[in-house]
A and B are shown apart, each in its own frame.
Chain A
C-alpha cells in the first residue's frame, strides 16, 4: 500500500542505504509512463514486481524486477470514459494502487474500482461506484482491510454528496456505503457512535447542522488517506469541505464535513467523529493522512493518531475515543486563533472570514492549507514526523464577471502567494511529544510530494522543480540530491530487490493542483486560474516541464 503499512508511517525498515553512504546513491534504472499529467502515486512492490499506476488515463504497468532494466511484464489500460473530462469535476491525478493477496486494487477517474490479477494483469472485476455526469470522480488510493476495498469520492464543488464505500475484495460487490452528510442511517451512525466532544453529539446532525436540505448537495467527499488499527478494528479517515454553498449560505456546523471518522471496517458503523473545521470558511478539506502510533504523552503511553492538518495545526489525538490531546500550529496561521481543547472547537478569526463584496487579505493558510494531500512519514527511531507542506496565504478580493453554462455572475478572485519568509514550501521535522519543530528546510515551491523515512535514518522527498532529495533524518542536513526530468509530486518508496539490494523509487511528473500551470499549460497571466493557485506559481514553468517518469536508485 502507498502508506507502507496500516499505521501509515511510511517508515522503511531497510538500512543498507544510510546517512553515511546515501551520498553515493546512483540511478539504477528509469521508466517513462508515457503520460504527462501530475503523477502523485507511489510505486508498489510485491512478488519481485513493481506496479505503477498513472494519472488519467489510469494505465497500470507491471515491471519485472528480476530482469535487468525491469522490463514491462504486462500493461493494463483502464480506458476511463473520457467524458470524465470537462463534464465532471475533476482532478486527473491518481494517488495509487494497492496490492493484497495476489491482487491489485485501484480507482479510475471515471468512478470505477478495479481488481486485477497481479501476476497476469487480467481484470478480475470492475465496479462502478459513482456517476461522472453528476460531477463525481475518484482520485484516491484505496485501502484493503479484512477483505474489503475502501473507496471514497471527489467532486465536492459540484454538489456531490461525499461517501466512503466498502467493496468485497473477492467479487467487487458493494458491502456498505457511509455518506458524510444526511440522516444518521445514511452516515451509518448507530448506538455505538460515541464522539468525544459535545459539538459532535446528537441525532441526525448531518441534517440539522445544515439549512433545510442543503446537505443533499453538501460535499464532504473523501479523496485522501485511510489508516487502520487492527487491535481496535477501526479505520480512520477524514472528510472534505462543505460545498458548493458559500459559508453564509450554509449556517451551522455542516456535519460531517472537515472531520475525522473512526469506523468499524466490517460494517462501516461509525464509532467516533471529530470535526476539525466546523462550518469551514476556507476550503480546508480534512482529508490528510493519520499516522497511528503509541507515544508517551505526559509520561503516559497513549494510542494516538497524528495528523498535520490542512488548517495548520498538528493534531495529536487519542485514537480510542477521538479526544484532542494537543493541536499546535506547524504552519503560519491567521485564519484561526487556536483550538479549544475543552470543547474541541477551532477558534475562527472573524476578521478573516470571506464575504461577498468584501476584500479580505492575508488569509493564512491559503485554500490548499498548510498541508494538502501529500503524506508525512514517521520514524520510530527518531520519534519525528516528517511533513512536506506549503507556506501560502491568500487574498480574497475583487469582483469579476464570470460565466458558467450560459449563466453570468460576479465572482471573487482568490490570489495566493508565499507566506512569511517568502518560501512557498517547507519540509519539516516535528516532534509530536514535545510538540515542536525540530528542524525545517525551506523550499522555493510548495513541497507537494510525499515523504519516506528509513531505518538508515534518511528521509526522502521531492520538489516541484524536480530535485529528489535525501536528508539526514536527525539533523535535516542535505546528504544527496538528484535532478529529475520533471517536478516531483509523487510518493517515494524503498524496497529490497530480488538481488538483495535496497532501492529507492519515485515517480516524477509535475502537476496536481499546485502544478496545474505546467501540466495543464495554464496561462501564467491568468493569476486566478486553478482557483488562485496559478498566481502563486507563475515561475514554475521556468523551472520544470511536464512528463511522467519513474526513477529507481541504489548504491553502486
Chain B
C-alpha cells in the first residue's frame, strides 16, 4: 500500500495533492473511483496496528482541526496520544469530504480519526472528549447581540451559512433559518470552498471580518480559532435553542474514531482520554474551542 503525502510548495498556499485513490460520489452523475487496494469489505481480517506507529487519518488543509504542517489541535492531540502510546505519528492525508472514511480508516491505511461525532456510524467511537456548539459570529463593533434563532433582527441581517450539498442534508443553521422563512438574506458558502486556498471552510469567517456579511452561523471550533486570529475583534455567541424543531441539534459531542471491530485500540484511546484529560482540555483551550454546557466530557 502506498501512502502518499501532500507537499506544500508554500505553506498554506498552494497545495498539490499527489496520486491517491478516491471514492467520490457525485450527486448527479454518481460514481466511484478507486485506485488501490486494500478494499474494506465485510470479510476483512481482524486488523492489527503496525508496531510503533500511530497512523492517523487527517485533512491536510483544514485548520483549526489539522493541516500537513501539524498546526491543528487534532495534530496536537495525535502527538499527545502517540507520546502516551510510546509511538510516532504517521499521517494519511485526505480531504475530509465524502469518501474520506471509506478511503482512509475503512480502507485500513490508517487507524484513527481524531474528531468524529460521538456515535458516528462509519467508525467505532470513543467516549466524547469535548462538546461544542454552533455559534453566532459577528464583528464586535457591530454590537449585534444576537443570541437566538428567534431574534427578529435575523430577518434583516446579512447572514452567512455553510452549505454541504449532501442529498437532502445540510448544515443545521441553514435549516433553522429556512424553517423561520429567513431565506432571502442568507448567503451560502460551500463548506468545501476552494481547495487551492488555505483552510477552505474558513472563508465564511473572512466574510464577517470584511463586512461582506453581518453574521455567520458556524461550528464552534472553526469560529473560536479564526476569531482569535482575526485583526478585527469578533464576537462569539452560542446559538439557542440547542436543539431546534423538529429535531435539529446544534450541539455535538465529539469523539475519536477507530475502525469498527477495533475494540481493543478504542479502549486504549479511551484510557488515554481519561488519563490525560487535563492536557487535552488545555490544548482545546489553546485553540479557543467553545465548549458547550452539559457535555458529558470524558
Contacts and interface: CB of A to CB of B under 8 A. Distances in A.
Interface in A202-249: 211-214, 217, 221, 223, 240-241, 243-246, 248-249
A251 B183 contact: yes
Contacts of A524: 42
Interface stretch (A335-343, A400-408, A467-475): A400-408
A38 B24 CA distance: 13
Contact of A88 (B21, B24, B27, B100): B24
A223 B184 CA distance: 29
Nearest to B33: A92
A93 interface: yes
A135 B167 contact: no
Given A82-B17, A402-B117, A396 B168 contact: yes
Nearest to A244: B165
A132 B194 CA distance: 9
A211 B181 CA distance: 11
A135 B166 contact: no
Grouping DSSP codes into helix (H, G, I), strand (E, B) and loop, the B interface class, with mixed when no group exceeds half, is loop
Interface range for B: 35 or more
B117 A406 contact: no
B216 to A, nearest CB: 13
B204 to A, nearest CB: 11
B22 interface: yes
B247 to A, nearest CB: 5
A305 interface: no
Contacts, number: 296
Interface string A522-533: 111110011111
A402 B187 contact: no
Contact of A246 (B30, B42, B178): B178
Contact of A87 (B40, B95, B116): B95
B250 to A, nearest CB: 10
B224 interface: no
A82 B21 CA distance: 8
Contacts of B117: 401-403, 408
Interface stretch (B83-91, B144-152, B169-177, B270-278): B169-177
Interface stretch (B118-126, B135-143, B231-239): B118-126
B26 interface: yes
Nearest to B247: A357
Contacts of B106: 523
B24 A92 contact: yes
Given A404-B96, A407-B191, A522 B23 contact: yes
Interface string B87-113: 000000011111110110010000000
Interface in B57-96: 59, 62, 65, 94-96
B164 A409 contact: yes
Contact of A403 (B120, B190, B249): B120
Nearest to B172: A409
Interface string A354-370: 10111000000001100
B162 interface: yes
A263 to B, nearest CB: 21
B190 A244 contact: yes
Nearest to B254: A408
A48 interface: no
A86 interface: yes
Interface stretch (A11-19, A142-150, A179-187, A506-514): A506-514
Contacts of B45: none
A91 interface: yes
B29 interface: yes
A37 B196 CA distance: 27
Contacts of B29: 90-91, 93, 139, 154, 223, 373, 512-513
A78 to B, nearest CB: 14
Contacts of B207: none
B247 A368 contact: no
Interface stretch (A118-126, A410-418, A437-445): A410-418
A246 to B, nearest CB: 5
Contacts of B30: 91, 368, 372, 512-514, 516, 530-531, 533
B188 interface: yes
A212 B32 contact: no
Interface stretch (A156-164, A189-197, A326-334, A458-466): A156-164
A211 B168 contact: no
A514 B168 CA distance: 19
A246 B248 CA distance: 15
A222 B76 CA distance: 43
Contacts of A348: none
Contact of A158 (B34, B169, B184, B190): B190
A500 B274 CA distance: 78
B100 to A, nearest CB: 8
A513 B103 contact: no
Contact of A283 (B20, B167, B170, B178): B167
A533 B22 CA distance: 18
Interface string B11-42: 00000111111111111111111110001111
A85 interface: yes
Interface string B185-225: 11110111011110011000000000000000011011000
Q: Considering residues B20, B27, B162, B221, which has the most beta carbons from chain A within 10 angstroms of its beta carbon?
A: B27
Given A86-B99, A404-B97, A521-B39, A516 B23 contact: yes
B51 interface: no
A262 interface: no
Contact of A519 (B32, B191, B252): B32
Contact of A83 (B17, B119, B185, B192): B17
B115 interface: yes
Given A212-B183, A401-B118, 17 more contacts: A38-B31, A55-B33, A82-B20, A85-B22, A87-B95, A156-B165, A158-B165, A356-B175, A367-B167, A368-B30, A401-B119, A403-B120, A404-B191, A406-B115, A406-B221, A520-B25, A521-B34
7 contacts: A88-B24, A223-B29, A244-B165, A245-B170, A373-B29, A410-B248, A530-B25
| A-B CB proximity, top 5 nearest | A513-B30, A244-B165, A520-B32, A521-B39, A85-B22
